[in-house]
Amino acid sequence: MELFLEELREFIGRSHPIFVHLPIGMLVVAFCMALFGRQEKYQSIQPAIPFVLLLGSIAAFVAAITGYLLSLRGGYDVKILGFHQWLGIAVAVISIFLYRLYRVAATEGRVKRYRFAVFSVLMLLVGVTGHFGGTLTHGAGYFTDALPTAVKDFLGYKVADVELAPIENVQEALVYEAIVAPILKQRCQSCHGERKKEGGLALHSKEAILTGGDGGKVLLAGKMTESELYARLVLPEGHEGRMPPKGRTPISGDQIKLIGWWIAQGASFSGKVSTMQQPAEMKQVLANLEKGKAAELTMEYAELPEAPTLPEDLVKSLQARGIKVLPVAANSNYVVINAINYPEFSAKDMTDLLHIKEHIVQLKLGKTAIKDQDLASMTKMPYLRKLHLEHTKISDEGLKQLKSSPSLAYINLFATNISDAGLDYLAEIKSLKKVYAYQTKITPVGIEGLRKSHVEAYVDSGKYQLPFLVSDTIQY
Amino acid sequence: MKNMDKLFKELERQQLQAVTRRHFLKDCVAGIGSIALGSFLASCGGNTMGGGDAFDLNALNPLIPRAPHFPGKAKSVIYLHMAGAPSQLELFDYKPTLHKLHNQPCPESLLAGKTFAFIRGVPKMLGPQATFKQYGQSGAWISDHLPHFSQVADDVSFLKAIHTDQFNHGPAQLFMHTGSARLGRPSIGSWVTYGLGSENSNLPGFVVLTSGGKTPDAGKSVWGSGFLPSVYQGVQCRSKGDPVLYIADPEGMGRDLKKQAIDAINEVNKEEYNTYKDPETLSRIAQYEMAYKMQVAVPEVMDISSEPEYIHELYGTQPGQESFANNCLLARKLVEQGVRFVQLFDWGWDSHGTDSSTSIDLGFRNKCREIDRPMTALLMDLKQRGLLEETLVVWGGEFGRTPMQENRDNSDMPFLGRDHHTDAYTIWMAGGGVKPGITYGETDEIGFTGVSGRASVHDVHATMLHLLGFDHEKFTYDFQGRPFRLTDVEGNLISAVV
């Protein structure tokens, strides 16, 4: 019987969020009636005010009672709960008092003004009570977090950063402080934190984690699968007990692995990452933390200074010709020039390209009519790294023009007329790393010559062949 | 005359009816409803490339090249899909222990809770039906079934513990190509073409070539565009006959006349688009224009007979055939011409051992011979042309094969075969920013399941997108009220190979 009552109590308590909106609505309506009823035009609604007020106060009492039953379940921030509870009770009491005022003294002027002032205070209380109620359910900052960024900036409100920052040196980092705690903060603490302790569990401090929740300990050091802290994360999707619950931001696969690994390694609150055993897979996951999202930063062209804005008219004019001007990335002003649909590429086009010489990192001019003398302009492009001249009339004379290229690293000369003499010119380009010279007149001697100054350079003269093997013809 | 008047009156009324209805709808959109409807419509067909420039619907051509999130190393992709799933245990995943266990019954513990397509009861273990050696500086294990391929071992990176969750061909192929085992998602080629557009305005951005006599089990959805505008779906080209059906003009239709006709149709379509803003109208316009340009460009690029003899010798190609070798050569030609994504399907890898053609020691070896030289040649040819560093080549099946011998319906089989296996299989990647010579992931002693470096199909997709310059978590398309990703809500970058 006792159990039944307890369960009933819990059941009724859970209806609090439903009932709580009734008094708010009714009291607001009554207030509006009182406000407008003061005008002659709406005088006729005045007699209805006490009735609506009465309904509102009854609802307020129901809400207060269900709210109290819900609070017995525990798991809420005691301080906020106290405010909410007493304010709620105050709302109920004041509203019934107000009902008496509206009921009895309908005519006297002094009471009229005084009762309206009380009503205004009641409205204020309803608002504040509601706010604390919302904080209990959704956690602090529920609304402010969702404000449009522009408004936040205007109000000078700082956004709590939930994105995990990359770790500088993961092996030297403290495993709990730098890895585990931020994950718990990001994914768990809005329900299992200082303010709200769903199931009695809080995960905001070492003590709280070790204490566990209503169901006992959640962390058994060294026993990954037996620790609820991990086991709950890997329950099948749709399972009732899976954490984070449906509708919340899910925890990532890597984060689950990290928590599991931390527990399996003894759940140390003070150890360094380097002191723990790291299977190959975990090494990978840990390394990801270091680079993480910051991996983009190590991408190509990241070390170049920010390029100036591209001249729009010129880009349009080039595009209209069929010369493609392609930014290397969405937020970059560095471009790849591709003349794949513009074989008639000429000296004039080259002059135009010089207007964006600081933007060009790659020139794809294969199969175009580009001539030797046009190459001289390319040395004026400070960041030009890749140059495609395959299937063109370029000869050694042209490569001579390229000698002073500041950053050229890749040159494709496949199916051109160049020879060893051309490679000698290329040898003067310090930044050069790769030369593709399939179907040209270069010889191994020339390649050796280039290697003298460019030990690491890759020169590909192609002509790959696959030997004919007996097994090529065997039919099984 | 009176009748004539009546007729005019009726016409007028009809027109008015039409006009008022349109006006009403327009007013709805322009009025109060515009805010709600606007955002609703945007979520129906809108798009977010995350941090990238929003796809501008007014830039009439949906195939213009676009920039990725960050500078990608790979600019194009050649995806070699071995439909039917080749056995990793006869090609790359060397398991000497399995050899010792040959013909012994499979321990029950391995079978508990597992589902197989055909294996019933307790099957016997099947030792590797190939001999293995290590090749190159990287010491990658490659079997004697691929004597040519072993020469390029150092250019390739192997992912040896890929796992999937689908054990039937159709769903598994869909999963491998669209990130979902169910129909309706865009294929990876469509995603990539949607994200990057096409660099060559005269060729489609996404081309599909098939060989092996059959198309994939999952049908053409494996190169479909799903909820993306249909202009991004793969264009299937044939290596025999007209590369694209009806590509030649009919008799009496001149090139100029055709151009005029297409211009007129596009003019009408542009008006239609300005009125209704349906992205499919843009697709239509783009497809007309593309078709016109393709009439010249496609037959040219699809003609391998003009290639020199030594190239034919390298690839083992014979013009006019439908073969994997021809498709490899075509893939190189297409990528050379700026095609973004080339998808190859080679059918015939389903080595169950039901007859000699699907036997692991007979038919399987024929399949190996058919791909060995061409795929090696492809890598070499891309390399000597300076294309490999910007071209990502991916090879793999839709799942792996069991270390056990198949015992269909719990009976002995006349030939050696292996059943479908989802827990571990090997794929390789090369070029396009992939670190060469890496072997990532390891399976247990018998190759049953991955013990380290396990990676899912989503992880493979995340890695491919990363190489192309996309953060797979931000590369989304809004459909039915939520942003969709190729990797859905999963996928981790396999950073060991990038």
List chain A pLDDT tens, one digit each, 476 residues: 677 888 888 888 889 988 999 999 999 999 999 899 888 888 888 889 999 999 999 999 999 999 998 888 777 878 888 999 999 999 999 999 999 888 875 556 677 778 888 999 999 999 999 998 888 887 777 777 667 766 766 776 654 445 667 777 888 888 898 889 888 888 888 788 877 788 888 898 888 898 888 888 888 888 888 898 998 998 887 788 888 887 677 788 888 889 999 999 888 888 888 888 887 778 778 877 775 444 444 567 878 888 889 999 999 999 989 999 999 998 889 999 999 999 999 999 999 999 999 999 999 999 999 999 999 999 999 999 999 999 999 999 999 999 999 999 999 999 999 999 999 999 999 999 999 999 999 999 999 999 999 988 999 999 999 999 988 888 88
CA–CA separation, A362 and A326 (whole Å)? 10
Nearest-by-CA chain A residue for B151? A466
Kindly state whether residues B363 and B468 are assigned to the same domain.
yes
Q: For residues B334 and B301, is the Cβ–Cβ distance under 8 A?
A: yes
User: Do A2-153 and A312-460 show the same overall fold?
Assistant: no
Could you tell me if B96 and B40 lie in one domain? no
Which helix (H) or strand (E) is B405 found in, with range?
A: strand B400-405
Torsion of CA A251, A256, A259, A264, to 10 degrees: 160
DSSP annotation string for B203-256: S-SEEEEEESSS--TTGGGGG--TTS-GGGS-EE--SSSSSSTT-SPPTT--HH
Q: Does B452 touch chain A (CB under 8 A)?
A: yes
In B1-118, which ranges are E strands?
A: 76-83
The pLDDT of residue B24 is 59
- C-alpha–C-alpha distance, residues A82 and B198, integer Å: 63
Find the closest chain B residue to A436 by CA distance.
B386
**B residues 316..335 contacting A (CB < 8 A):** 316
Clarify whether residues B484 and B358 are in a common domain.
yes
Pair (B84, B145) in one structural domain: yes
| A414–B384 CB contact, under 8 Å | yes
pTM above 0.80, yes or no: no
pLDDT of residue A86: 93
Judging contacts by C-beta atoms under 8 Å, the chain A residues touching residue B65 are 324, 326, 338
Q: Nearest chain B residue to A287 by CA: give it.
A: B495
Q: Is B199 touching A (CB cutoff 8 A)?
A: yes
Please give the structure tokens belonging to residue B474.
Answer: 């931000």
Domains of chain B: total: 2
ipTM of the complex in this document: 0.83
The answer to whether residue B151 sits within a structural domain is yes
By the 10 Å C-beta count (0-12 exposed, 13-18 middle, 19+ buried), B434 is classed as: buried
* B364-384 pLDDT tens trace: 999 999 999 999 999 999 999
- CB proximity B34 to A under 8 Å: no
With respect to residue B268, please indicate whether it lies within any of the assigned structural domains: no
Kindly report the length of chain B: 498
Residue B381 structure tokens:
């040819």
Query: So what's the pLDDT on residue B44?
Result: 43
Distance from first CA to last CA of chain A, Å, rounded?
Answer: 79
* Chain A closest-CA separation from residue B67 CA (Å): 5
Per DSSP, helices labelled H in B144-216 are 169-178, 188-196
Q: Are residues B12 and B139 in the same domain?
A: no
Mutation for testing the B interface, residue in A365, A466, A471 having most B CBs under 10 Å: A466
Chain A CB within 8 Å of residue B353 CB: no
Question: Looking at chain A, which residue has its C-alpha nearest residue B380?
Answer: A464
Residue B116, domain member (yes or no): yes
Q: Which CATH number fits domain A2-153: 1.20.120, 1.10.600, 1.10.3470, 2.30.30?
A: 1.20.120
Quote the minimal CA–CA distance from B52 to chain A in Å: 5
Any idea what the Cα angle at residue B434 is, between residues B88 and A466, rounded to 5°? 65
Domain assignment of residue B488, yes or no: yes
Closest CB to B377: pick one of A338, A388, A466: A466
Residue of A316, A434, A464 to mutate when probing chain B, most B C-beta within 10 A: A464
Q: For helices A78-104 and A109-138, give the axis angle rounded to 10 degrees.
A: 160
Within a domain: B70: no
Closest to A288 (Cβ–Cβ): which among B384, B389, B495? Answer: B495
Q: CA separation (Å) from A426 to A354, A379, A383, A423, A432? A: 22, 12, 17, 5, 8
Instruction: Clarify whether residues B228 and B347 are in a common domain.
Output: yes
| Number of helical (H) and strand (E) elements in chain B, helices listed first | 12, 17
**Facing residue for A414 by CB, picked from B148, B338, B386:** B386
Asked whether A348 and A373 are in contact (CB, 8 A), the reply is no
Q: Which residues of B touch A324 (CB under 8 A)?
A: 65, 199
Token pair of B224 as six digits:
């479909």
d(CA B355, CA B473): 45
Amino acid A397: pLDDT = 94
Say if B271 falls within a structural domain.
no
Rounded Cα gap, residues B88 and B26, in angstroms: 60
Q: Return the structure tokens found at A421.
A: 């003499």
Q: Which residues of A touch B199 (CB under 8 A)?
A: 324, 326, 338, 340
Concatenated DSSP letters of A434-470: EEE-TTSS--HHHHHHHHHH-TT-EEE---------G
Best of B384, B388, B463 to mutate (most A CBs within 10 Å, chain A): B384
A/B interface, count of CB pairs below 8 Å: 127
For residue B23, give every residue at least 6 positions away whose Cβ sits within 8 Å of its Cβ, in sequence order, or none.
none
**Domain for residue B296, yes or no?**
no
Residues of B in contact with A338 (CB under 8 A): 65, 199, 338
Same domain, residue pair B205 and B333: yes
The reply to whether B377 falls in a domain is yes
Whether B69 sits inside 8 A of A281 (CB atoms) is no
Q: Is B361 near chain A, with CB under 8 Å? A: yes
Extract the residue ranges of chain B whose pLDDT is less than 70: 1-2, 14-60
Taking CB atoms and an 8 Å limit, are A291 and B200 in contact across chains? Answer: no
Query: Which residue range(s) make up the domain with B162?
Result: 76-243+302-497
Interchain contact, A472 vs B373, CB within 8 Å: yes
Which chain A residues are Cβ-neighbours of B338 within 8 angstroms? 338, 340
Å between B492 CA and nearest CA of chain A = 8
* Residue whose pair of structure tokens reads 């805010």 in the numeric block: B35
* Per-residue pLDDT, B33: 45
Contacts of A332 in chain B (CB under 8 A): 67, 71
Residue pair B445/B471 in contact by the 8 Å Cβ criterion? no
Nearest to A324 among B65, B313, B362 (CB): B65
Domain ranges of chain A: 2-153, 170-297, 312-460
Identify the CATH assignment for A312-460 out of 3.80.10.10, 3.40.50.300, 1.10.10.10, 3.20.20.10.
3.80.10.10
Cα torsion B175, B177, B178, B182: sign:
negative
Q: Are residues B151 and B239 in the same domain?
A: yes
Considering just the CA atoms, what is the radius of gyration of chain B in Å?
A: 26
